[in-house]
Amino acid sequence: MTDDSGTHGDRRQKKDRRSGRDRRSERDRRSSTDRRGNEDRREGWGKIEDQRLQGALTTAATVAHLFSQPLTIIIGHVDLLLSTIEDSVTRNKLEIIKGQLQLLSMTLQDLRSLREYETIDFDGLTLLDISLRRTRKMD
């Protein structure tokens, strides 16, 4: 048997299908798609925000830890070169390199100091708001 909508045996009205309401029980059928546990429902979406923050903190700490050693070595060698080289052109380039390394160091410090999950829209892409506002101001 085919009804007006072309489907077999579905006697719900169109408005019922749109609303997702079960005609017999008057319950919203979509409620069964909610896979969150009772505890999560009680807490709303707060727990997921916490999980996002935890994920961000873990990533930030990992990046800070992994980048620290190579940066120490690069900065150290730049400092040693600056303490010995007298040629002004080379010194000038080393100072530029050191300035950029200091910016990277500041970003690592921002990652270490991360306490809140804040995002920022960057040309349509969602990024973690670490020091982007400060960087923009500096530029």
Partner 1 sequence: MPKDKKIEILLWDKHRTERELLKEMLTTIGCNVTAVRDEHECLRKFRDRKYNLVIFDQGLPDLDVRGFVDDLGEIDELTPVAMMATLDVEFYEQKYGDSNIDFLIVKPFELVQLRNLVEEAMRLCQRLKGMG
One DSSP character per residue, 52-81 reads: HHHHHHHHHHHHHHHHHHHHHHHHHHHHHH
Alpha helices in 4-138 (DSSP H): 14-19, 38-42, 46-84, 88-112, 132-138
Supply the minimum distance, in Å, between the C-beta of residue 98 and partner 1. 8
Q: Out of 43, 112, 117, 129, name the contact with partner 1 by CB under 8 A.
A: 112
Q: Out of 10, 50, 76, 85, name the contact with partner 1 by CB under 8 A.
A: 76
Q: Which of 66, 56, 33 lies closest to 113 in space, CA to CA? A: 56
Question: What value, to the nearest 5°, has the Cα angle with vertex 74 and ends 62 and 105?
Answer: 50
Supply the minimum distance, in Å, between the C-beta of residue 112 and partner 1. 4
Q: Out of 23, 30, 36, 77, name the contact with partner 1 by CB under 8 A.
A: 77
Supply the minimum distance, in Å, between the C-beta of residue 135 and partner 1. 18
**Positions in the binding site for partner 1 (CB under 8 A):** 61, 64-65, 68-69, 71-77, 79-80, 83, 101, 104-105, 108, 112-113
